[in-house]
Amino acid sequence: MTATLPETTGITGQMIIAGAHVRGSGQPVRAFNPATGETLEPAYHYGDSSHVDAACSAAAEAFAAYRATTAEQRAQFLEAIAANIEAVKDAIIARATAESGLPTARITGEVGRTTGQLRLFAGVLREGSWNHAVIDPAQPDRQPAPRPDIRQRSIALGPVAVFGASNFPLAFSVAGGDTASALAAGCPVVVKGHDAHPGTSELVGRAVTDAVAAAGLPAGTFSLLFGDGPDLGTTLVTDPRIKAVGFTGSRSGGTALVAAAAARPEPIPVYAEMSSINPVFLLDGALATRGAQLGEAFVASLTMGSGQFCTNPGLVIAVDGPGLDGFVAAARDALTGSPATPMLTPGIARSYATGVDALTQHAELVGRGQPGDSECACHAALFTTDAATFLKSEALQAEVFGSSSLIVRCKDAAEMRTVASTIEGQLTATVHADESDYASAGELLPLLELKAGRILFDGWPTGVEVGHAMVHGGPYPATSDSRTTSVGARAIERFLRPVSYQNVPKALLPSAIADGNPDKIWRRVDGQLTHD
């Protein structure tokens, strides 16, 4: 069945290359509504290497003028993108809901998250600390040699390639966190839109393109391509004009891009957010006082959005005993009653089913959710095993993208710490603890710091705040670069590098490090932070 949503008739099935709408050269691909089984018009056609070349060429040409804009100009540009998205919000929500099968409320929230991210970076730009302005004034009388005047600021890396993620058609896609932070840094962006939501991508791509034009920025500041990941994606990452990459997706996809970028004559950084099973530690006191309640809340987190979150709680670790039994019983009950919800694409649903089958070989089934009758239905699954088995099995540590989780029963707190020390790098680690657990939690915390980008207590990892303190990152294989975050204010740092200016004539100094602090930003002068 094929349907065209009236709200989205404006979309054309074309890519956007430096402001021009361009039809791809490949076979037609169409989006699919996983909730209804409908195929969605219009057809999109994959781009080829000539489209990559055109987009990268325009981005490289735009770079000099775009990075020379003031922070205030870029802040207004990001705000204009947010306003343009809001102006077509209804069409975006309708199309994204259809393309993803996600509930309208979730997509509505995601639009707000996306515009909120753009505005956060507008604020970051105006505040100015991103410049990392430093001034070591000259000391002409220093012995044995005078100290020259040395200043430092950060500049944009260059054009950035961004890969849209399947599971957040807005917040981690065309104008998502990677794009917002790269544009904030002064980098032109070439997006490869995700096949799962081409119509949403085009609508948002137009919002960005209109803002580029309205601000009088070079058209090459933004392009949106569609194409095959291993083919067009690799061509994009290996284009010599691209200087950094943002990616959210699978471990195999991320590591392939990392390898391609490392093999370039000039290697470039790839920020790939890839794989995480997000361990949740249930401590004894918390289990004793609220084991059943935790079991129910856990299933709500596990099944939300069909579990299609990087931060889905895929691993639960606790010491065996009646408290854990109560948690498991409540979780089983909640899960058994939970309805099947659609996954994003038939391919994701198939991978999920394969992953669940594999776990069945290695762990004991606790229970499953309601089965669904559609091709994309997520049939939630919960398993359990003992820590000794878990520690011996690589298969039990593999991410199963979707509502699947494994409860690991430990014989004591020491074995729980062994599990904490043995797991791979994660985006998050969660601890549920009562006050009586704080000594035990205190022993766990340093181990978790080495394994995760975010540690949270008494909550659930699904739900990533966009703010100044957020780290959405973590040690490999959660991401390819644990020193960074893809969500929150510090994401801008991924696309900047420091430059020193020694004895540069005052007439030629950039304003961020000019005498008199014309940008009115925080700067480190002679080692001390100052706003003067």
Kindly state the smallest distance separating residue 440's Cβ from its own copies, in Å.
11
Tell me the helices (H) and strands (E) count for the chain, helix number first: 14, 24
Catalytic site residue from 310, 376, 378, 410:
310
Q: Which amino acid is at 35?
A: A
20 near its own copies (CB under 8 A): no
Which of 18, 119, 120, 114 has the alpha carbon at shortest distance from 66? Answer: 18
398-437 residues in contact with its own copies (CB under 8 A) are 425, 433, 435
Cβ nearer to its own copies, comparing 337 with 498: 498
**Residues between 158 and 187 with contacts to its own copies, criterion CB under 8 A:** 158
Rounded to a whole number of angstroms, the minimum distance from the CB of residue 97 to its own copies is 18
Beta pairing partners, 154? 498
Q: Which of 131, 485, 486, 517 binds its own copies (CB under 8 A)?
A: 485
Site for its own copies in 93-112 (CB under 8 A): 109
Residue 118, interface with its own copies (CB under 8 A)? no
Rounded CA gap, 329 and 325, in Å? 6
Query: Which position among 490, 492, 517, 519 is part of the footprint of its own copies (CB under 8 A)?
Result: 490
Nearer to its own copies, 259 or 395 (CB): 259
**Is 86 part of the annotated catalytic residue set?**
no
Q: How far is CA 26 from CA 33, 44, 51, 248, 352, in A?
A: 22, 9, 11, 24, 29
> Is residue 141 close enough to count as binding its own copies by CB under 8 A?
no
Q: Which of 43, 398, 504, 514 binds its own copies (CB under 8 A)?
A: 504
The CB-of-470 to its own copies minimum distance in angstroms stands at: 6
Part in contact with its own copies (CB under 8 A); list of ranges 174-182, 288-296, 357-365, 494-502: 494-502
Buried b (16+ CB within 10 A) or exposed e, 181-205: bbbbbbbbbbbbbbbbbbbbbbbbb
CB 286 within 8 A of CB 444: no
Q: Residue 427 and residue 475: Cα distance in Å, rounded?
A: 8
Residue with tokens 């040395």: 150
Q: What is the DSSP code (8-state) at residue 147?
A: B
Query: By C-alpha distance, which of 120, 123, 136, 130 is closest to 156?
Result: 130
Instruction: Give the pairing of strands 452-457 and 426-432.
Output: parallel
Q: Among the candidate windows 198-206, 216-224, 405-413, 468-476, which touches its own copies by CB under 8 A?
A: 468-476
- For its own copies (CB under 8 A), the number of binding residues is 82
When binding is defined by CB under 8 A, the residue of 28, 322, 339, 446 that contacts its own copies is: 446
Instruction: Name residues contacting its own copies, limited to 268-297 (CB under 8 A).
Output: 269
Burial of 64 (0-12, 13-18, 19+ CB in 10 A): exposed
Nearest-angstrom CA–CA distance, 398 and 387? 15
**35 near its own copies, rule: CB under 8 A:** no
Choose between 330 and 521: whose C-beta lies nearer to its own copies: 521
- Span of 71-79, 84-92, 408-416, 489-497 interacting with its own copies by CB under 8 A: 489-497
The Cα 55–Cα 52 span in angstroms is 5
Q: Which of 403, 400, 365 is nearest to 385 (CA)?
A: 365
Say how far residue 5 (Cα) sits from the centre of its chain: 29
C-alpha span between 452 and 461 (Å, rounded): 12
Whose Cβ is closer to its own copies: residue 344's or residue 444's? 444
Q: Does 348 bind its own copies (CB under 8 A)?
A: no
Segment contacting its own copies (CB under 8 A): 172-180, 209-217, 404-412, 498-506? 498-506
> Residue 202 Cβ, how far from its own copies at the closest point, in Å?
28
- Contact region with its own copies (CB under 8 A), list: 144-152, 216-224, 315-323, 380-388: 144-152
Alpha-carbon distance 365 to 332, whole Å? 10
Provide the 8-state DSSP code for 339: P
Under the binding rule (CB under 8 A), the answer on residue 442 touching its own copies is yes
* Cα dihedral 37/11/193/179 (nearest 10): -130
Separation between Cα atoms, residue 99 and residue 101, nearest integer Å: 6
Q: Nearest approach, Cβ of 350 to its own copies (angstroms)?
A: 27
The catalytic position among 99, 273, 415, 424 is 273
Residue labelled with tokens 């067009």: 232
d(CA 277, CA 81): 34
Q: Per CB under 8 A, does 473 bind its own copies?
A: yes
Which of 20, 68, 87, 414 touches its own copies by CB under 8 A?
Answer: 68
The answer to the question of residue 49 lying near its own copies (CB under 8 A) is no
* Site membership for its own copies, residue 476 (CB under 8 A): yes
Q: Which residues between 204 and 263 bind its own copies (CB under 8 A)? A: 258-259, 262
Tell me which stretch binds its own copies (CB under 8 A): 90-98, 300-308, 385-393, 460-468.
Answer: 460-468
56 is catalytic: no
Q: Which is nearer to its own copies, 202 or 481 (CB)?
A: 481
Catalytic residue set: 273, 310
